[in-house]
Amino acid sequence: MKKWIYLISIYFFCVIGAHTVKADIIWEPEDSFYKNHSDECTYVGRKFIANGPDGIVLVYKNPESSKVKVRWQNGEKVWIDYTYQDADGITWGISKKLGWAPMDYMDPVYDNIAFQEEFEAEIKKEEGLLDEQYIQNEIYFWEYPGSKDFFLVSPKDFEENLPTYQAVFVDEQGKSWGYVNYYYGYRDTWICLDQPTDDINQLYPNGLPKRGEQTVERKFEGERIEPNSNHNLIIFVGLLVMGVVLITGLLLIVWRRK
């Protein structure tokens, strides 16, 4: 009986551990080209804005296929998971099951990464813990200071563990913001340390601060970027030649023996 209890306990903790690990695993595309070139791909995990010639971005089956799977209208926002650089130096981005698009036709949406790049000199390393008076409140976790995107989180749902921050930024109005690297599944977010329970209108009653630049339509010269499908053709021809050489060699050996 004790043995069965012991085995069940081990199984239970293994299952719990497996779920814990899965929560932090980066999603990988169910895409044959990605699987064959995963070592050559770079994780991006950012949202981009389509900005291609003639008002559209063509999305292909893969960087070596001319088959168009979908068309994105300029201005459409799309999440790019990974990028791949082909033999010609062209970078391609994959978006879930939609396909691959030339990254030359994609502009990054202003996000936390862009914010940290823009205000790198003003973000100071400073560790701290949110004040205990907010344990029973709902706290706003923002994508970056001055963003409209947020998560509303209650510390009481997480055993009353308050979020810790690793850096501080003081905005144009003198408000202090704490950068939270990780808090129960929430990654790379910011909390207004002075007003953690206030919404965007309460934080900025006179309007949001300016962040980044708006995407402008570019002028494109030359032909549209398309997949180089010659790569597969070269491989096919090479294999065909090798097959002919091998068969010819075998026939010669047989002929000489006769």
What gap in Å lies between CA 208 and CA 145, rounded to an integer? 10
Q: Residue 1: pLDDT above 60?
A: no
Q: Residue 62: pLDDT above 90?
A: yes
Q: At a CB cut-off of 8 Å and minimum separation 6, what does 129 contact?
A: 162, 163, 164, 165
* Same-domain check for residues 116 and 75: no
Give domain status of residue 82, yes or no.
Answer: yes
* Same-domain check for residues 85 and 121: no
- Across all residues in the chain, what is the average pLDDT? 85
Cβ atoms within 10 Å of 78's Cβ, excluding its own: 19
Q: What is the pLDDT of residue 222?
A: 87
Q: What is the pLDDT of residue 30?
A: 87
- Please state the pTM of the whole predicted model: 0.71
* Structure token digits, residue 116: 């940290």
Q: Residue 42: pLDDT above 60?
A: yes
Among residues 72, 93, 109, which one ends one of the domains?
109
Q: pLDDT tens digits for 95-105? A: 987 899 999 99
Q: What is the pLDDT of residue 240?
A: 64
- Which carries the bigger pLDDT value, residue 254 or residue 179? 179
Average pLDDT over residues 122-145: 96
* Same-domain check for residues 103 and 116: no
* Same-domain check for residues 73 and 156: no
* Same-domain check for residues 168 and 87: no
Tell me which amino acid residue 236 is. Answer: F
Give domain status of residue 154, yes or no.
Answer: yes
Q: Residue 233: pLDDT above 50?
A: no
CATH code of the domain containing 54: 2.30.30.170
Give domain status of residue 231, yes or no.
Answer: no
What gap in Å lies between CA 249 and CA 243, rounded to an integer? 10
* Structure token digits, residue 224: 């549209």
What band does 218 get if pLDDT is binned at 50, 70 and 90?
confident
Domain count, the chain: 2
* Same-domain check for residues 74 and 129: no
Q: What is the pLDDT of residue 8?
A: 40
What band does 214 get if pLDDT is binned at 50, 70 and 90?
low
* Same-domain check for residues 68 and 90: yes
* Structure token digits, residue 11: 């199984």
Cβ atoms within 10 Å of 194's Cβ, excluding its own: 14
Q: What is the pLDDT of residue 230?
A: 57
The answer to whether residues 31 and 62 touch, using CB atoms and an 8 Å cutoff, is: yes
Give domain status of residue 142, yes or no.
Answer: yes
Q: Residue 54: pLDDT above 90?
A: yes
Candidates 131, 108, 87; CA nearest to 211 is: 108
* Same-domain check for residues 118 and 191: yes
* Same-domain check for residues 134 and 151: yes
DSSP letter for 163, please: P
DSSP letter for 216, please: -
Give domain status of residue 171, yes or no.
Answer: yes
Q: Residue 223: pLDDT above 80?
A: yes
Expressed as residue numbers, the domain containing 116 is 112-203
Q: Residue 118: pLDDT above 80?
A: yes
Q: Residue 176: pLDDT above 50?
A: yes
For 99, the 3-state DSSP assignment is: strand
- Which carries the bigger pLDDT value, residue 239 or residue 18? 239
Q: Residue 255: pLDDT above 70?
A: no
The answer to whether residues 144 and 180 touch, using CB atoms and an 8 Å cutoff, is: no
Give domain status of residue 134, yes or no.
Answer: yes
